[in-house]
Amino acid sequence: MDMSATAAGARRIDLRSDTVTRPGPGMRQAMAAAEVGDDVLDGDPTTGCLEARVAQLLGMDWALYVPTGTMGNQVAMGLVTKPGTELYLDALAHIVHTEMAGTALFWGVQIRPVTPRGLAIDADDVRGMLRPPGPHALRASALAIENTHNSAGGVVTSVAGVRALAALARDHGLMVHLDGARLWNAAAALGCTVAELAAPVDTAMVSFSKGLGAPVGACVAGRGIPVALAREARRRFGGGMRQSGVVAAAALYGLDHNLARLPDDHAKARRFAAAVDGKGGARVIPPDTNIVMIDLAAGGDAAALATAIAGDGVLVSPWAASRLRAVMHLDAGDDEVAHAAHVVARHLARSAA
Ligand SMILES: Cc1ncc(COP(=O)(O)O)c(C=O)c1O
């Protein structure tokens, strides 16, 4: 539970993100006990154990531990794209909006945003954007898929959907990256394995600092690409870490203890969504996973509303001008979520009055 006291002494429920969780006693104990070495020189045993485990879970040739999901995505961008080519991506993808133009800056790639007809891109959306070859047509090198899709409300792309996207990409000579910061949630929601969702892609990134509750860390993984290239890119970004076992142990703890409970977060999201949907004319994207997007009625001001809601001890994110985001996680228990939903619903109703 994130029940940290505010200055006024009132309880605070933080639903801005699933990244706000704090390592509990069990995770901290695992971190303190981690066997460590110098991962850049000759390997850190706990990091090696995490990388082997993640490679096996994803069914990839290798996995490499990186400090953040953003670095993992950017390492992968270096592996699947080529300078002076295009990268197809969902128009609301994290790589487009939240990675500080890294793909353009580091890898010389033009992003070609694909606006989905539904919530997340499918093969037909991408097919409609492919440029017919010709003297004026810029070549594309890669397609990236985000699963779950954060900005679309944690929506999942099914195994069949991922296969169709990857098959289309292959037919057009594109490599495929999977931004799977919340792939664990996607697999839990779909009742499949992360390996099934990663099977058709060349590179994948999975994060430990979201639903799994670790303080930091992600893995980038690949198949058919030398791991040495990924190591080189990680090093270039300053991501070669030394006794990284201390934090890798938190990721291993998250896999052991927090993976199986992700459906609880999805259930909380459904209950939260049901409690706020329609209040004050707001509309909720029915949540597939742990993210609840609330679209305000016309004229609604998400920033002002988030500030007002925070005054009652509940933190949600103003995600866009008229969209709020609330994310369920292991530090917000059922009672806190019920209370937060009640507070948000009350503010929504009041804002429309
Ligand atoms: C879909 C997606 N990809 C990548 C990231 C980046 O992860 P990090 O914050 O660890 O850099 C996030 C973070 O929220 C995300 O939601």
* Residue whose CA lies nearest to ligand 1 atom number 5: 69
**Ligand 1 atom showing the smallest separation from residue 179 Cα:** 3
CATH at 184: 3.40.640.10
- My answer on whether 123 and 179 are in the same domain is yes
Least Cα distance to 288 among 277, 300, 273 occurs for 273
Between the CA of 94 and the centroid of ligand 1 the distance, in Å, is: 7
The answer, yes or no, to whether any atom of ligand 1 lies below 6 A from the CB of 218, is: yes
Q: What is the pLDDT of residue 28?
A: 98
Between the CA of 349 and the centroid of ligand 1 the distance, in Å, is: 32
The answer, yes or no, to whether any atom of ligand 1 lies below 6 A from the CB of 151, is: no
Residue 63's contacts (CB-CB under 8 Å, 6 or more residues apart) are 50, 51, 52, 54, 55, 219, 220, 221
Q: Is residue 6 part of a domain?
A: no
Q: Are 284 and 296 in contact (CB under 8 A)?
A: no
Q: What is the pLDDT of residue 352?
A: 81
pLDDT tens, 263-289?
999 999 999 999 999 999 999 999 999
- My answer on whether 304 and 250 are in the same domain is no
The answer, yes or no, to whether any atom of ligand 1 lies below 6 A from the CB of 209, is: yes
DSSP 3-state of 340: helix
Tokens of 290: 């742990």
Between the CA of 10 and the centroid of ligand 1 the distance, in Å, is: 30
Q: Residue 8: how many CA atoms within 13 Å on its side-chain side?
A: 7
- My answer on whether 165 and 304 are in the same domain is no
- My answer on whether 128 and 205 are in the same domain is yes
The answer, yes or no, to whether any atom of ligand 1 lies below 6 A from the CB of 351, is: no
Between the CA of 278 and the centroid of ligand 1 the distance, in Å, is: 29
pTM value?
0.96
Q: What is the pLDDT of residue 6?
A: 46
Q: What is the pLDDT of residue 11?
A: 73
The residue ranges of DSSP E strands in the chain, in sequence order, are 13-14, 62-66, 86-90, 110-114, 140-146, 175-180, 203-207, 218-222, 283-284, 291-295, 314-315, 317-320, 323-327
The total number of structural domains that make up the chain: 2
The answer, yes or no, to whether any atom of ligand 1 lies below 6 A from the CB of 102, is: no
- My answer on whether 274 and 168 are in the same domain is no
Domain enclosing residue 173, as ranges: 34-257
Q: What is the pLDDT of residue 3?
A: 42
Last residue of a domain, one of 257, 291, 318: 257
Tokens of 263: 């459906």
Largest CA distance in the chain: 66
Residue 195 to residues 1, 61, 245, Cα–Cα distance (Å): 31, 12, 24
**Ligand 1 atom showing the smallest separation from residue 17 Cα:** 14
Q: What is the pLDDT of residue 10?
A: 61
- My answer on whether 278 and 183 are in the same domain is no
Last residue of a domain, one of 257, 291, 324: 257
DSSP per-residue codes, 32-86: HT-----TTTT--HHHHHHHHHHHHHHT-SEEEEES-HHHHHHHHHHHH--TTSE
Q: Is residue 165 part of a domain?
A: yes
- My answer on whether 199 and 235 are in the same domain is yes
- My answer on whether 294 and 150 are in the same domain is no
- My answer on whether 189 and 230 are in the same domain is yes
Between the CA of 18 and the centroid of ligand 1 the distance, in Å, is: 10
Tokens of 200: 């058709």
Q: What is the pLDDT of residue 1?
A: 41
Between the CA of 258 and the centroid of ligand 1 the distance, in Å, is: 18
pLDDT tens, 130-181?
999 899 999 999 999 999 999 999 999 999 999 999 999 999 999 999 999 9
Q: Is residue 246 part of a domain?
A: yes
Spell out the per-residue pLDDT of the chain, length 353, in tens. 444 444 444 679 999 999 999 999 999 999 999 999 999 999 999 999 999 999 999 999 999 999 999 999 999 999 999 999 999 999 999 999 999 999 999 999 999 999 999 999 999 999 999 999 899 999 999 999 999 999 999 999 999 999 999 999 999 999 999 999 999 999 999 999 999 999 999 999 999 999 999 999 999 999 999 999 999 999 999 999 999 999 999 999 999 999 999 999 999 999 999 999 999 999 999 999 999 999 999 999 999 999 999 999 999 999 999 999 999 999 999 999 999 999 999 999 999 87
Least Cα distance to 68 among 221, 206, 259 occurs for 206
CA dist 306 and 302 (Å) reads: 6
